[in-house]
Structure 1
Amino acid sequence: MRVWIGCGGYSNEEWAAPGLIYEGVKKDTYLETYARHFDAVELNSSFYAIPGLKAFEGMARKSAGRTRFTVKVNKVFTHDRAPTDADFDRMLQSPGPLADAGLLGPYLAQFPYSFHRTADNRKYLLGLAERFAGHELAVELRHASWDKPEVREAMAEYGLIWVSPDYPVVGGMPEPQVHVTTDVGYLRLHGRNKGSWWEGSSAAERHDYLYNRAEMDEWAEKIALVADDLSELYIFFQNTTKGHALKNIPMLREALNARGIPVKTPDPADDGRLM
C-alpha cells in the first residue's frame, strides 16, 4: 500500500508564522515549498472556481513532480447540484496537465450535512458516478444516514471511493472508521473540536484542533487493519489552522512506520523549520 499524506490546501497564510514552513517565503512560491515537505495535497480552490488549464500547468511545474494532487469538485456538483455539461467538461478536462504529469489523484466530492440519504439524492449520486466514469471519485457523505454497509456495497459496485472521516463526536455524522470500497482509500482528518463544529463561524475555527499522539496511534491501528486491502491510501489533514496539521503529520508518519506501514517522508532542505 502506497500512503500519500498531506493537507487540505497549501496556501495557508498562517503557516508564515515563525517556525512554520512559509516563514520568509513569498506567496508565489508556497506550492514549491509545500512540495518539499508533503507528497500530496487536496486542492480546495476548485470548489469555489474551477481553475483553467494554465493554472493546473503551473501547479504541475511548481510542485516539480513531488506532490500528488486530489481535486475537490466544484460546489455546483455537491451543494448546488445543478451542473451543466459545460461544468462537467471543465471539471474533467482542466486538470489534464496534472494527469499528463502523473500527479493527479482522485477527485473529491464533499457533500454537505444537509445531503441526506433520500431517493432523489441516491439518484443524483448515481448520476454523478456515471458522469465521472473512468475517473477516480472519492465521496464524502457527512450525514449518518449514508453510513451503512449497503451504501458502501453500492459505491463499490460503481467504483466510488468512500471517504473515511474523523469528525468531532457531535452526533448525526458517520463513525470514524476506515472503510474500503475500492483498492484506493481516502481519509480526511477534520479534528475533534466539538465546541465549534456547529457553532464555529468559519472553517478555520471548526478545524482548530491539534491531535495528540494517542489519537494518531488510534488511526494508525485502524489503517493497519485494512492495509492489505488497498493499493493506495490518501490521508489529508484538514486541521490546518495555526499549523496543527504540520505537527500532526510527522506523528502519523511515525505511528504508521512503527506498525510496518512504510511512509515516504520528503527530504526538504534543512532550514530548521517545523514540518
Structure 2
Amino acid sequence: MSDAPAPKPASSVRIGCAGWSIPTRAAHLFGAGDSHLERYATRFDVVEINSSFYRPHQSKTYSRWADTVPSGFRFSVKLPRQITHEARLVEADTLLGEFLDQVAGLGAKLGGFLVQLPPSLVLDMRVAKAFFGLMRQRVEVPIACEPRHPSWFDADATDLWEGFSLTRVGADPARVAGAESPAGPKSARWSYWRLHGSPRMYYSRYEDPVLEQLAPRLVQRGTATAQAWCIFDNTAGGHAVEDAARLQQLVSDDSTR
C-alpha cells in the first residue's frame, strides 16, 4: 500500500519539483494514477514546468495537464530560452505573446511564471523595464525572476522588483552573494526558492540539516496572501522528489509547533 498523503488544500507553503518524473525508488511516496503527473499530484500541490524553456507546448497540452490535477494544484511555467537567452528580453513581443497564449490553457491552475536569465545578461534597466512592463500588461499572476549576473543584485534592481511586483528567486547554489534568499516587495505575492543541488548542481541530494534550516524560513515567509514556494531542481540523480517529500514533512512538523 502507498504511504502517499491525500491531496491537501492550498496552503501558504507549496513544495514541489521541476517536472513530475517519479524515480522507481520513490514510487511508494505517491498514490495511484494513470500518468506520472496524476500520481505526482497525489503528494505535491505544485510543479514547475521546465520543458517550456526548450520547446513550445500547444494550449491543448496545457489544458490536458490542468485537467489531470486537483483544483488546488498550481503550475509555474518557465519562459522559453528564445525569450530569455536568445532574444535576451529585447523585442520579444511576438515570442512572449505566443507563449502566453499557449500557457493560457492552464486556466486558473496557472500559479505564475519563472524568468531565468543567463549568467552573462547584465542588467539594463531600459530593457528590463520594457520587458517586464510588457509582461505585466498581459498577466496578473506572480512573476519570479532568477538573475545570475551580479548587476541584478545592486540597489538599482530594487526599483525593478517593486515597480513590476516581481520576486527575485532564492537560488542554491548561489552564484552571487545574497542570491540564496528571495527578495522583492510584498505585492509580489510570492517567495520562490529553487534548489538546484549542491555541491554538484542537478545531481546532489540535500542533507537533512540543510532542509531543517530551510523549513522554518518557508513557514515564516508563507502567508495567506503571499505564498512561499520551494522547487527542487536536482532531478538528474533523481533526488528532487525525495528531498521535496522530506522538506514537506519538516514544514508540516514546524507548522504544528
TM-score, normalised via structure 1 length: 0.76
* Total equivalences in the alignment: 239
Per the alignment, residue 119 of structure 2 pairs with 113
8 Å contact kept, 2:53–2:81: yes
Identity of aligned residues (%): 25
1:122 aligns with 2:99: no
Q: Are 1:141 and 2:144 matched, yes or no?
A: no
Instruction: Work out whether 1:251 is the aligned partner of 2:231.
Output: no
The corresponding residue for 2:179 is 175
| 1:78 alignment partner, one of 63, 84, 89 | 84
The answer to whether structure 1 residue 155 and structure 2 residue 150 are counterparts is no
Q: 1:176–1:137: structure 2 CA closer, same or farther, 3 Å change rule?
A: same
Cα shift at 1:148: 3.3
Pair 1:229–1:57, CA change in 2 (3 A): closer
Specify the alignment match of 1:272 in structure 2. Answer: none
Q: Secondary structure at the match of 2:57?
A: coil
User: d(CA) in 1 for partners of 2:241 and 2:121?
Assistant: 31
Q: 1:38 aligns with which of 33, 41, 44?
A: 44
Contact 2:74–2:110 (CA under 8 A) maintained in structure 1: yes
Q: What SS does structure 2 have at the residue aligned with 1:236? A: strand
What letter is aligned with 1:130? G
For residue 244 of structure 1, report the CA deviation from its aligned partner. Answer: 1.0
Residue of structure 2 in register with 1:201 after alignment? none
Query: What is residue 27 of structure 2 aligned with on the other side?
Result: 20
Q: What amino acid is aligned across from residue 165 of structure 1 in structure 2? A: A
Residue 212, structure 1, aligned to residue 212, structure 2: no
CA contact (8 A) 1:32 1:62 kept: yes
Counterpart among 128, 134, 151 of residue 131 in structure 1: 134
State the 1:22 CA deviation: 10
Shift of 1:210: 0.9
Choose the corresponding residue for 1:2, options 3, 9, 12. 12
Q: Secondary structure in 2 aligned to 1:33? A: helix
| Shift in alpha-carbon separation, 1:43–1:261, aligned structure 2, 3 A | farther
**Range with bigger deviation, 220-229 or 207-216:** 220-229
Question: What letter matches 2:151 in structure 1?
Answer: S
Q: Which amino acid aligns with 1:254?
A: Q
Contact 1:41 1:69 in 2 (8 A): yes
SS in structure 1 at match of 2:169: strand
Rounded Cα–Cα distance in structure 1 between residues aligned with 2:106 and 2:195: 24
In structure 2, distance between residues paired with 1:130 and 1:224: 31
Unaligned runs of 5+ in 2: 1-10
Q: How much does 1:70 deviate?
A: 0.6
Partner of 2:217: 222
Return the offset for 1:137. 1.8
Q: Secondary structure at the match of 2:230?
A: strand
Q: Any residues of structure 2 matched to 1:87-98 within 5 Å, and which? A: 87-98=95-106
> Alpha-carbon deviation of 1:254?
2.7
Segments of 5+ residues of structure 1 without an aligned counterpart are 197-205, 263-275
Question: Counterpart of 1:222 in structure 2: which amino acid?
Answer: R
Residue deviations 1:58-96 (CA, integer Å, cap 9, x gap):
111222435210111111211012554431221111122
- Secondary structure of the 1:243 match is coil
SS at 1:20 equivalent: helix
Q: Which secondary structure does the structure 2 equivalent of 1:32 belong to?
A: helix
Distance 2:211 2:72 in 1: 25
CA contact (8 A) 1:178 1:222 kept: no
Alignment check: 8 A CA contact 1:224 1:261 kept: no
Does structure 2 retain, via aligned residues, the 8 Å contact 1:142–1:174?
no
